[in-house]
Amino acid sequence: MITLAQQLYAGLDNPEVFEYIVKSRRILSRPQGCADFLYNSMKHCWRYNPSDRPSFFQFLMRFEPYRTEVFKQQSFVLINYEKLKNEYRMDCDFDLTNDDEEK
């Protein structure tokens, strides 16, 4: 959505994408017009160590201030929060406050 359907790794074949991401440990640059907040949120999801990445629920909670009432009323995750929290041991203790920190 952010890139307006542009190919993310334009001009690179699969082995080159693998080299770019896995071996070089690089991430995509911020797409033109992408808000810093959203790009920093994506970078949290791209952290090299999987245990440093937020869960989907933690990622969703990061957008709390930006959600509309309609979204809150229709969101499966938010409507079933207590059930999901207990069933999947979801918590919000993951530190997503320092957007510029890279691990």
CA 94: distance to chain centroid? 13
Q: Which of 27, 9, 36, 2 minimizes the C-alpha distance to 103?
A: 27
pLDDT at 99 over 80: no
pLDDT at 48 over 80: yes
Per-residue CA distances from 87 to 20, 55, 75 (Å)? 37, 14, 17
Residue with more model confidence, 73 or 24: 24
Residue with tokens 């911020």: 30
Q: Output the pLDDT for position 69.
A: 76
Give the predicted TM-score (pTM) of the model: 0.57
- pLDDT tens for residues 49-73? 899 999 888 888 888 787 777 766 6
What are the sequence ranges of the domains in the chain? Answer: 1-32, 35-103
Residue with more model confidence, 5 or 100: 5
